[in-house]
Chains A and B, each alone.
Chain A
Amino acid sequence: MSTQSPDASAASARETTEGTVYTVTGGDWDEVAESAARADDERIVVNMGPQHPSTHGVLRLILEIDGETVTEARCGIGYLHTGIEKNLEFRTWTQGTTFVTRMDYLTSFFNETAYCLAVEKLLGIEDQITDRASVIRVLLMELNRLSSHLVCIATGGMELGATTIMIYGFRDREMILDLYELITGLRMNHAYIRPGGLAQDLPSGAVDQIREFVRKMRKNLPEYDKLATGNPIFKARMQDVGHLDLAGCMALGATGPILRSTGLPHDLRKAQPYCGYETYDFEVPTAESADAYGRFLVRLEEMRQSLDIVEQCLDRLKPGPVMVADKKIAWPAQLAHGPDGLGNSLDHIKQIMGTSMEALIHHFKLVTEGFRVPPGQAYAAVESPKGELGVHAVSDGGTRPFRVHFRDPSFTNLQAMAAMCEGGQVADVIVAVASIDPVMGGVDR
C-alpha cells in the first residue's frame, strides 16, 4: 500500500489518474495483524471466513486470540447483500413475495407471511382473510419451523464432528422439502403466500402426505434425543458455551430460542397472536441454562410442539376459499395445469378473450399494474424459528411499496456473537455461532 492512512481502521487509499482508489480487502487487515504481532508474541488475529464451512454461509469472523482464548471477536457481514428491500420498491405489492421469500431462505414461509400480514394491515383486510388460508399459513409455517430447526441442529452437529446427526437432520428435512414441492411446486423460494391469502389451494393428496410425514417424524424425533441429548461428548461441547443471560438478550435484542433458553417464555405466537395462533394448543418450551445446550433443547422441544400444531391444522382444514373475496386484490387468473406446466386456466383465458371485455381489462390492469394500497405504514411481526421477524411496510398510495424493511432475527441475534464468544475458547466460537443459527441470506438481505 502506497499511503498509510492515519486512521488504523480506515481503508488505505492511493491517488491515481482516475481518482482516489481505496483498498479495502487486505490493507486494514494487514495492519491489524501486524500491530497484533508486534504487541504480544502469543496474540494473533485469525480471520475466519467469509468462506468457511462452519460459519453458516458467507459470515466473516475476526478473532483476536491469545493462546486458545478468544480475547476479541467481531463479525464482518454484507457479503450476501442483494438489495432486496430496494428492489421491492420497483415491483408490485404482489410481486414482493417473490423477493422476500429469498431473504432468509430457510424460513421462506415466515418471510412471506410477515410481509403479507403487513400488506394486509395496510389494506385493512385482516378480518377478511379466510379461515382456510390462515390454517394453511400456520400449517406451512410450522412445517417450516421444523425444517429450519432441523438444519440448525444438523449443521450444528456437523460442526462438532457429529456427522450422524447431520445425516439425520437433512434426511428429515428432505421429507419436508418434498411436501413443499407437492404444495407449492418448489422446494425453496415458494412465493406461495400472497397478500390476501394464498396463490392456490392445497393439491389433492397433500393432507394425506402431511399426515404420513407427521407419523414418520414422530418416529424420527426421538432419535435426536437418543443421539445427542444425553450424549456426554455433545453435552461437554455445548454446556456453558455461548452463555447469554436475560439482561444480555434484552440489551442486544436477541429473541427466539436464544431468549427462551434464559427461561423467559416469550413467543409472539402467544404474546401477540396472528393467523389464529390463539386457537391452537401448544406450549412454549424454555430452558434455564442460557447456553448452547439449552438452545438445542428448546429447538428440539419446539419441533415436537410444531408437529402437534401441524396435526391440529390438518384436523381443522375445512373446504373453502383461500383468497379474499375482493377481486381487486386477488390474482385475477385461476391457475391450472396445462400441457406446458402451471399457468392461467384455459377457462379463464376463454372468458377474458371471448366473452367479457371488462374481465380482460381487469386482468390486464391487475397483472401489469397491481392493486393500490392506501398510504400509511404498518408493522407486522411473526415468531420465526430464529426470533421476532418484523416487517415495516410504508405505502404512498401507489401500486408499489414505498419502503419495506425487514427486521430479520438473524441480523439482530448475530450481534450477540461477541458477547457469547469473548473470553472463551476458539473451538467454542463454532458452537456459539451455531447456537445463534444465523442465515446470511436473512442477515444481509
Chain B
Amino acid sequence: MSGENGTGGARGPGEDPERDTANLPGMRGAGGEEIRVQRGMFGANNGGDTSGYGGLVRSVRLPGASARPYGGWFDEVADELEGALEEQGLLPENALDKTVVDRGELTFHVEREHLVRVARTLRDDPALRFELCTGVSGVHYPHDTGRELHAVYHLRSLTHNRLIRLEVSAPDADPHIPSLVPVYPTNDWHERETWDFFGIVFDGHPALTRIMMPDDWQGHPQRKDYPLGGIAVEYKGAQIPAPDQRRSYS
C-alpha cells in the first residue's frame, strides 16, 4: 500500500502561501487538508496563561488527496468505479471530490448529490459488489467551514473480500445528505442515530426520528458544540472539575 501518499503528497488548499516554510523543519502531517488551527494549550485562552504555551499555533491536518497509483487493489476499485460512473453519463470528477489512501484504507469523498448513484453502483457492479454496508458514522468538524458535518460509510464486499470508505460532507447551514436506505436498508437505524446525534437530515429516509434520545430532546448531543455536562466532584478535599472543564492538551 502506498500509505505515505496521504501525508507526503501534494499540498492541500489550506496551506498558507505567505509563510516561508523552506527554513523550517518538516512537520508531521504537513500537507494534507487543514481542518482547524489550534492556538494555545491547556484550554487557557483568557490571558491569564503565563506558561508561554498560549502563543502556540498548530494546524490540524487530515491526510489529503492521494495521487495514483493507490497501490494493491485500490486502483482496480477506483478504475472500476470511475468507469461505471462514466458509463452512466456521470463524470467521475463531478461525483468524487477526492480519493484518499491512508493507513492502508481507501476513502472516496463523494459529492452528496451523487451519493445514492455511487452507492448503487458500488453495490450492483459485479466487479465492485460491496453488498454489506456497516452503517454510517457522523463526524462533526466545527472549523472545517462549509463542510462541518461528515457522514462516513464503510462498505464491505464479501465477494471480493474488500473494505472501502465513503465520506460525504454537508455544511452546518444546510445539513442534508440523501438517505442510503433504498440501497442499503441496514442504514435505517444508523441514519436515525446520526440524525439524533449530529442533526444530519437524511433526505428520503422512511421515518427519520430520534432513536437514542427521547423524542422531545433539544439539540444533537454528539456535536462538538454540545457540552458533555457533569458536575465537579470533591475528593479528599480537592475539587475535581467535570470532564469537559478539565485542562486539555490538544
Which A residues are within 8 Å of any B CB, using their own CB? 9-11, 22, 24, 77-78, 81, 83, 85-87, 89-91, 121-122, 124, 250-255, 264, 266, 271-272, 369-370, 372, 374-379, 381, 388, 390, 392, 394, 396-400, 402-403, 405, 407, 411-412, 414-415, 444
Contact = CB atoms under 8 A, between A and B. Distances in A.
B212 A78 contact: yes
A269 to B, nearest CB: 13
Nearest to A121: B103
Contact of A378 (B105, B138, B250): B105
A10 B207 CA distance: 12
B249 A398 contact: yes
Contact of B244 (A90, A370, A378, A403): A90
A403 to B, nearest CB: 5
Given A252-B186, A398-B250, A124 B212 contact: no
Given A24-B214, A85-B222, A251-B186, A370 B249 contact: yes
A255 to B, nearest CB: 8
26 contacts: A9-B209, A11-B216, A22-B215, A24-B215, A77-B211, A78-B212, A85-B197, A86-B222, A86-B228, A87-B243, A252-B185, A253-B135, A253-B185, A253-B186, A255-B132, A370-B249, A375-B61, A375-B63, A377-B102, A397-B60, A399-B250, A400-B250, A411-B193, A412-B186, A414-B189, A415-B188
Interface in B168-185: 184-185
A374 B30 CA distance: 11
B40 interface: no
Given A121-B103, A396-B35, A253 B243 contact: no
Given A253-B184, A378-B103, A412 B152 contact: no
A379 B103 CA distance: 10
Interface stretch (B9-17, B90-98, B157-165): B157-165
Contacts of A400: 248, 250
A396 B158 contact: no
B8 interface: no
Contacts of A370: 249
Residue from A10, A388, A412 with most neighbouring chain B CB atoms (10 Å): A412
A20 to B, nearest CB: 9
